[in-house]
């Protein structure tokens, strides 16, 4: 099926700061793409650009197979669910009123179902101002989901919430994907990468990788650190499935070795490596 | 009903609900104009120097009340869009597909509901405090005060659409209020102003409202005589709503 989002060479500068540079992205129906990068990498600028709240200085953007133009902004936006990084809710109003308002006329039953699903039924009529941060985050998600959008752009939806709620959010994201929606989920919490079908890793406004977690894990290697009785040490790195690892270990002089530390790369450590060292895009 | 109209009403309803949930804001915006009128009465009737001026204060009480409404409605509405932009709710409204026209007109309608109550209170309280029998002038006076309030809401929304922070909005308050107070005809008669100041006065919508109110209350004119000024006031209102709507940026 055609991509819901097709971005080519997106760029955006704020004064002298180039927040986005030459970013390409395809988002296909039924996938969760994790937008991963350190703070200031350009994640929010990219999400806001795709949510049609910011215009790119350069590059082309197609949503739902159509080029974005001033004339079709409203129509395209109605098919997008956007969850900003801040709560962006009317604090004086209830959760129910907020969801109904941002749902632009969705049925009362739909609002009730959403609030129930996110565990907010009991507080549905409380003013948002009286809620905890986690609850506000859930109300904010409900607002993004209200109109049953095909494309969900979620800007750090799990920032600042407890691990249990994070788990529930990701469970919900997978359910939405299984129902056919596409999600772009930005995060700087690298452990969340495991939940994604694909990872778009960005740094300093540039895309440095676009690959599946499995493809990244295939690059996982093992680092062995050996300490000797005489106080010296050595470190060796072996690529995945490198038979040399065992031979090397067997070849060590057992009488001299005081301690061996074997560390396998994890998805998280691979991403950190990419974010800190990669210069060019090693796309899968 | 067309979707755009529904969106406008959704925004207006949300604004009214928000206002009702904020009792402090509600009380302040409704009580302050009445208190200001009361202050005016205290000064003109209690200070000998002012009493000696023999200003027909009863004639000026309602036009002055109208000015208070203009002043307050402007300040309250200028903060609206700036606050929404800061909190991210403006972006969210745009993101879910509310058009800038629906947002602007919705704001003006929603705060207009508040202005309606404000107008009723100011006209009612002022006539009662000053013992003014409005008779058939009640409707045109109320209508003009309400129209002025709506125009100032539209002005506020227009200014805040262009501003990014509260800090950029506040300096516009004295910039607008001081020349308006001096030039709208309430303090100095328009025909005594130098020509260039008269031109500026006619660019300020409150001038037209005060012309109607002073015509009715001071010069003993009928509403029909002041209809051109009233229509000019409405024209400003429509133009300001359109300008405000266009100045909301849909993509930054």
- Rounded to the nearest integer, the mean pLDDT of chain B is 89
Least CB-CB distance to A54: which of B92, B96, B251? B251
Q: What average pLDDT does range B120-133 have in this prediction?
A: 90
Calculate Rg over the CA atoms of chain B: 19
- Classify strands A257-264 and A233-238 as parallel, antiparallel or unpaired: unpaired
Residue A127 touches partner B, C-beta closer than 8 Å:
yes
Residue A157 touches partner B, C-beta closer than 8 Å:
no
Residue A15 touches partner B, C-beta closer than 8 Å:
no
Calculate Rg over the CA atoms of chain A: 23
Least CB-CB distance to B97: which of A55, A77, A90? A77
For residue B6, the chain A residues in CB contact (below 8 A) are 105
- DSSP, collapsed to helix, strand or coil, labels residue B251 as coil
Q: For A73-123, how does the pLDDT look when each residue is reduced to its tens digit (9 = 90+)?
A: 989 999 999 999 999 999 999 999 999 999 998 999 999 999 998 889 999
- Classify strands A58-63 and A5-14 as parallel, antiparallel or unpaired: antiparallel
- DSSP, collapsed to helix, strand or coil, labels residue A105 as coil
Q: How far apart are CA A128 and CA A106, in angstroms?
A: 20
Q: How far apart are CA B57 and CA B69, in angstroms?
A: 18
- DSSP, collapsed to helix, strand or coil, labels residue B221 as coil
- Cα B139 to Cα A188, B70, B200, B222: the distances in Å are 61, 18, 29, 12
What's the pTM? 0.86
pLDDT of A284: 42
For residue B245, the chain A residues in CB contact (below 8 A) are none
Q: Which of A178, A171, A211 is nearest to A195 (CA)?
A: A171
Buried b (16+ CB within 10 A) or exposed e, B121-130: bbbebbbeeb
Contact A197, A189 (CB under 8 A): no
Q: For A219-274, how does the pLDDT look when each residue is reduced to its tens digit (9 = 90+)?
A: 889 999 999 999 999 999 998 778 888 889 888 888 999 999 999 999 988 898 88
Given pLDDT bands bounded at 50, 70 and 90, which one contains residue A278?
low
Element (H, E) at A182: strand A182-187
Within 10 angstroms of residue B146's Cβ, the number of other Cβ atoms is 21
Is the Cα dihedral B103, B105, B106, B107 positive or negative?
Answer: positive
Which residues share a beta bridge with A36? A187, A201
- DSSP, collapsed to helix, strand or coil, labels residue A214 as helix
Least CB-CB distance to B251: which of A52, A75, A101? A52
**Domains by residue range for chain A, with CATH:** 1-79+149-213 (3.40.50.300), 86-148 (no CATH), 217-280 (no CATH)
Does the structure show a pLDDT above 80 at A150?
A: yes
Helix residue spans in chain B (DSSP H): 3-20, 23-46, 48-52, 57-87, 89-95, 100-130, 138-162, 166-169, 172-183, 195-201, 205-217, 227-247
């Amino acid at each position: 099926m055609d991509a819901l989002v097709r971005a080519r060479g997106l760029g955006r500068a704020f004064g002298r700061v180039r927040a986005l540079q030459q970013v390409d992205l395809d988002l296909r129906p039924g996938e969760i793409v994790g937008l991963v990068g350190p703070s200031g990498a350009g994640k929010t600028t990219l999400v806001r650009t795709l949510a049609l709240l910011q215009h790119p200085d350069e590059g082309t953007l197609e949503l739902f197979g159509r080029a974005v133009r001033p004339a079709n902004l409203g129509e395209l936006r109605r098919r997008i669910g956007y969850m900003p990084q801040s709560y962006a809710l009317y604090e004086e109003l209830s959760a129910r009123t907020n969801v109904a308002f941002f749902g632009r006329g969705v049925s009362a039953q739909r609002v009730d179902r959403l609030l129930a699903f996110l565990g907010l039924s009991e507080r549905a009529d409380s003013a948002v101002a009286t809620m905890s941060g986690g609850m506000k985050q859930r109300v904010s998600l409900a607002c993004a989901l209200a109109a049953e959008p095909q494309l969900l752009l979620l800007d750090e939806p799990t920032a600042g919430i407890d691990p249990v709620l994070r788990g529930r959010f990701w469970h919900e994201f997978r359910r939405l994907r299984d129902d056919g929606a596409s999600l772009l989920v930005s995060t700087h919490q690298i452990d969340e990468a495991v939940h994604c079908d694909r990872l778009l890793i960005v740094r300093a406004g540039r895309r440095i990788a676009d690959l599946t977690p499995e493809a990244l894990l295939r690059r996982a290697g093992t680092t062995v650190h050996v300490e000797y009785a005489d106080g010296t040490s050595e470190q060796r790195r072996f690529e995945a499935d490198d038979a040399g690892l065992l031979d090397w270990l067997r070849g060590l002089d057992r009488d001299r070795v005081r301690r061996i530390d074997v560390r396998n790369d994890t998805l998280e450590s691979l991403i950190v490596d990419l974010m800190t060292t990669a210069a060019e895009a090693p796309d899968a | 009903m067309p979707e755009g109209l529904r969106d406008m009403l959704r925004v207006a309803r949300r604004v009214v609900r928000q206002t009702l949930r904020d009792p402090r804001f509600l009380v302040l915006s409704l009580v302050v104009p009445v208190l200001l009128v009361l202050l005016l009465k205290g000064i003109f009737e209690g200070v000998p120097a002012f009493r000696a001026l023999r200003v027909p204060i009863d004639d000026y009480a309602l036009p002055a009340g109208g000015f208070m409404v203009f002043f307050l409605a402007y300040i309250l509405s200028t903060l609206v869009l700036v606050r929404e932009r800061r909190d991210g709710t403006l972006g969210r409204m745009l993101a879910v597909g509310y058009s800038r026209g629906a947002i602007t007109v919705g704001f003006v309608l929603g705060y207009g509901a508040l202005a309606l109550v404000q107008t009723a209170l100011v006209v009612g309280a002022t006539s009662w405090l000053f013992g003014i029998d409005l008779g058939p002038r009640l409707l045109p006076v109320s209508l003009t005060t309400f129209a002025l309030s709506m125009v100032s809401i539209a002005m506020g929304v227009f200014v805040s659409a262009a501003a990014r922070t509260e800090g950029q909005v506040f300096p516009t308050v004295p910039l607008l209020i001081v020349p308006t107070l001096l030039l709208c005809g309430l303090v100095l008669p328009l025909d005594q102003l130098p020509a260039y100041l008269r031109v500026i006065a006619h660019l300020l919508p409150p001038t037209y409202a005060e012309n109607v109110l002073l015509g009715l209350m001071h010069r003993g004119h009928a509403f029909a005589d002041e209809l051109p000024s009233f229509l000019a006031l409405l024209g400003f209102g429509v133009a300001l709503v359109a300008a405000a709507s266009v100045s909301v940026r849909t993509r930054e």
